[in-house]
Amino acid sequence: MSSTLLIEIFTEELPPKALEKLGNAFASGIFNGLKARDFLASDAVATTYATPRRLAVIISNVRAISLDKTMREKVLPVSVALDAQGQPSVPLIKKLAALAATTNAVLITPDQLERAVDGKAESFFYSYTAKGAALEVGLQVILDDTIAKLPIPKQMSYQLQHGPAAGETVHFVRPAHRLIALHGDTVVTLRLLGLNADRITGGHRFLSKGAITIADAESYVEVLASQGKVVASFSQRKEQIRAALLAEAGDDLVLMPESLLDEVTALVEWPVVYPCHFEDEYLSVPQECLILTMQTNQKYFALTDTDGKLRSRFLIVSNLETKDPQYIIQGNERVVRPRLADAKFFFEQDQKKTLAERVPLLANVVYHNKLGNQFQRTQRVQTIAVAIAALWSNDPLLAARASRAAELAKADLLTDMVGEFPELQGIMGTYYAGHDGEAEPVALAISEHYQPRFAGDALPTTDTSTVVALADKLETLVGIWGIGLQPTGDKDPFALRRHALGVLRMLLEKRLPLSLQQLLQTTAGSFSENTNFKDPCAEVLSFMYDRLRGILRERGYAPSQIEAVIAQQPDTLTNIIERLDAVQAFAALPEAEALAAANKRITNILKKNNVVDTGTVQTGLLQDEAEKNLVAAMTNVKPQVDAAFAQGDFAGALQSLARLRSEVDAFFNEVMVMAEDEHLRNNRLALLSNLHLMLNQVADISKLVA
C-alpha cells in the first residue's frame, strides 16, 4: 500500500545561514534513501519544508513494504566448490548453510546453483528473491544515515531532559524536541536523536496556541498554517516576503539582495512587513554605509527613490503579527539609530586625516610575511601601474593619475569606517579622496580598481581605473605565485583564479593592446629586491591561457576552435574574438577538414625533420606537376591572404586558403616529400614550410581535427 510520508524534526532555532541547505539535504537524503531501497513509486515526489524551528519533508507514493528483489550472489569458484571427484567440498557445504540462514531458505542444495564463467574461471552463483522490507525498518536506517551526513556547520552536544532516555547525550545542529513520522495517518515506529516518533509538533513560538496534532501527512502544511501560524515552505515564505516588501515600498525601490532575503526567510515562520524611519540628518553619510549597516547588522531592507537615492524610510520583516505594531516599529527604530550614529561619527572622524597622510602607516599592516607590508605592496602596484600606463599610452597624465591612484588605493584600510565595515574598502576611499580634493579619475580608481570582483561584475569604467586594476591584480597573481603559493586542485586561498580572470576580461573586453608576457615580466620586475621571490612568468602565462580557454568556452566556442587560436599563444587579445569567429566560419566549409588534416600532416613532417625556418622554394627544382600546381596556387592566393590578414579580415584570409584544397590533396597523393635527392627533399620541405606558415597565419587549423 502506498501513502504520503511525512518526516519532521522540531528543534530549537536553527542557524539561519545554513537553514535552506540543511532542509534540502534532509529531504534529498530521505528521498534518495527510499528510492534506493525500492520504497518509492515511479511518480513519487519530495517536497522540502524548512523553518527556523523545523526540518521536514513530504514524499508522495511511499510503499509500506519495499518491492521484492531478485538477487544473484556469487557462492564459490568451481575449483574450490568441488573436490577432485567432482563432489561438493566442505567449504561449499558450509557456504550453502550460511546462505540458507541469511536468505531464510530452508535448504540450499548444489543443484540449485548456476554455473557460469566469472572472469577467466568458472564459479557457482545462487539466485533468490529477497522479500521487501517494512517501511519502519528501512526508514530507520535511512534517517540515521541522513542525519549523519547533514552539512551541519557546527554540531551541538546536549543531554535529553525528559522521558526514559533522560540524561542521554545527543549530537545535532540544535536540540531537537519532537519527531513526526507519518505514513498516511499511521505513525511509523522510529527513534531518532533520542526521540520516539509521534504526530505532535509545535507551532509559532508566540502566535500558536500550544502543541499541534497532525492527523495525516497530507494535512501537515494546512494545519501548521491555520493552527500554528507557520508557513512551512522556505520558498513560499521567501516569495511572500518579497511580495510584501514590494507592496509596502510603494513607488520606492527596495534593496533586497537574495542573500539577505534568504537569511530573513530563515529567521521567521510567519513573516509580516512593517515600515520604519530614521532621522534625515543621517543621510549626510555616504548611503553605502547606511545601507550596509542596516543589511548586515539589523537585517533591514533599505529603500531608495527611482534615481537610487537613499530614503530615510526602511522596511523590517517581523515574526510577529499584531493589530498595533507601534512597539515593534519603535523598537527597531531605536535599535538602528545608534548604528547610524556610529556610521556618521566614523565618517566625520575619518575626514579629519587625508588619505595621503595615512599611506606611510600602511607599513604597519602586514601583507604577507614573504612579501612585506601593505606600504611595500603599494609601492610595487604604483610602479607596475606607471609601467602599464606607459605601455598603453604616451599620455603623461594617465601615468600620473594611475600613480597617484595606486598610491592612495589601500589607504582607506586604515579608516574607522572600513575597520567597522571591511566590505566598504575602496568605496570609502573614493569618498575620502573626493573630500581631499583629488582628481575625479584618481578618486574613482580607488573603488574601481577592485573590479571585477566576481564573475559577471562590471569592469572599471575609466583608463586610470583600468590601469590600477590591472596592476593590483597582476601584483597579487605574480607575487603570490612567486613565493610558491599557486592554486592546487580546488584550493585557491588567494583567489588567483579570480585575479587572472579579471585581468583577462579587461584585456579581452576592452581590447587593450597590451602584451601578456610584457605585463607579467614588468610585474615580476617589481619584486627584484625580494629574496623569497622566484620568477613565475612562464607558469603564470600558461595558467592564464587555461583561464582564457574557460572564458571562451563560456562564450560558445568549440574546444577545437579555441585550441586552434590558443595554440599560437597570442600575446595580445585585441583580435582573438575575430580570429575565433573566422575559425568557426572556416570549420563549417567543406574544405576545412581536409585542409586541417593536411596541416596536421605538414606539422608532423616539419617537426620530424627539425624544420624551423621557412626556406626559399627554388622553382628550378620543381619536378612533379602536382608540386608546380601547388606553388602556382600559393603564389596566386598569397596576396589575397596577406591583404585580408592585414585588414583584420581573418575570415576572408581563411576562405582564400580554402581554395588550395585540391592542390594540397594532389601534392600529398602524387609527390614524395622525402625524396632520396637531398636538394629535392629540402626544396619540398621548404615548400611545406611556406604552406604551413600561410595556413597558420590566423590560427593553427590542424587543431580542428582529432
pLDDT in tens, 656-706: 888 889 999 998 898 898 888 888 888 889 888 998 888 888 999 889 887
Compute the 3-state secondary structure of the chain and give helix, strand, coil in percent, each to the nearest 5: 55, 15, 30
Q: pLDDT at position 557, please? A: 94
Rounded to an integer, what distance in angstroms lies between the CA atom of residue 499 and that of residue 571?
18
Report how far apart, in Å, the C-alpha atoms of 441 and of each of 382, 412, 461, 466, 504 are.
15, 17, 10, 11, 22
Q: Which residues of the chain have pLDDT under 70?
A: 106, 614
The one-letter amino acid code at 463 reads D
pLDDT tens by residue, 441-455: 999 999 999 999 988
Q: For residues 312 and 280, is the Cβ–Cβ distance under 8 A?
A: yes
Contact at 8 Å (CB) between 396 and 407?
no
In this structure, the dihedral spanned by the alpha carbons of residues 488, 451, 435 and 339, taken in order and rounded to 10 degrees, is -70
SS3 622: coil
Residue 638 grid cell = 598569397
**Cβ atoms of residues 501 and 545 within 8 Å:** no
- β-strands 200-201, 253-254: how paired? unpaired
Query: What are the cell numbers at 269?
Result: 515562520
Question: Residue 427: what pLDDT?
Answer: 96
Angle between helix axes 463-482 and 516-525 (nearest 10 degrees) is 70
- Cα separation of the two ends of the chain: 55
Sign of the dihedral through C-alpha 478, 482, 487, 492: negative
The pLDDT of residue 610 = 84
CA dihedral of 550, 553, 555, 560, whole degrees rounded to 10: 140
Query: Which whole-number Å values give the CA distances from 626 to 592, 631, 673, 686, 689, in the listed order?
Result: 20, 9, 12, 15, 17
Q: Give the integer Cα–Cα distance in Å for 230 and 54.
A: 10
- As given in the structure block, the three cell numbers for residue 613 are 625556418
Is residue 48 within a helix (H) or strand (E), and if so which, with residue range?
strand 46-51
Cα–Cα distance measured from residue 498 to residue 406, given in angstroms and rounded to the nearest whole number: 20
Q: Which residues contact 294 (CB under 8 A, 6 or more apart)?
A: 300, 301, 302, 314, 336, 339
H/E stretch holding 70: strand 69-77
Residue 114: per-residue pLDDT:
87
Residue that has been written with the C-alpha cell 612579501 in this structure: 371
User: Phi, psi at residue 150, to the nearest 5°?
Assistant: -60, 140
Q: Determine contact, residues 245/301, Cβ cutoff 8 Å.
A: yes
Alpha-carbon gap, residue 512 to 341, rounded angstroms: 45
CB 325 within 8 A of CB 340: no
Against a cut of 0.85, is the pTM above it?
Answer: no
CA dihedral 217, 221, 227, 231 (to 10 degrees): 150
Question: Which of 246, 243, 262 has its CA nearest to residue 254?
Answer: 246
Residue with cell 595615512: 358
**Strand order, beta sheet including 114-118:** 69-77, 121-130, 114-118
Helix (H) or strand (E) holding 303: strand 301-304
Cis peptide before 590 (omega within 30 of 0): no
What pLDDT score does 330 carry? 96
For residue 695, how many other CB atoms are within 10 A of its CB? Answer: 23
Q: Which DSSP letter does residue 54 get?
A: E
Dist CA 435 CA 437 (whole Å):
5
Q: Measured between alpha carbons, how far is 199 from 32 in angstroms, rounded to an integer?
A: 23
**Which alpha helices (H) appear in 483-533, and where do they start and end?**
496-509, 516-525
DSSP 40: B
Measuring CA to CA, how many Å separate 411 from each of 377, 383, 405, 418, 486?
12, 17, 10, 10, 27
Cα distances from 434 to residues 282, 402, 406, 438, in angstroms, run 19, 16, 15, 6
Q: Residue 542 class from Cβ within 10 Å (0-12 exposed, 13-18 middle, 19+ buried)?
A: exposed
State how far the Cα of 396 lies from the Cα of 512, in Å rounded to an integer.
18
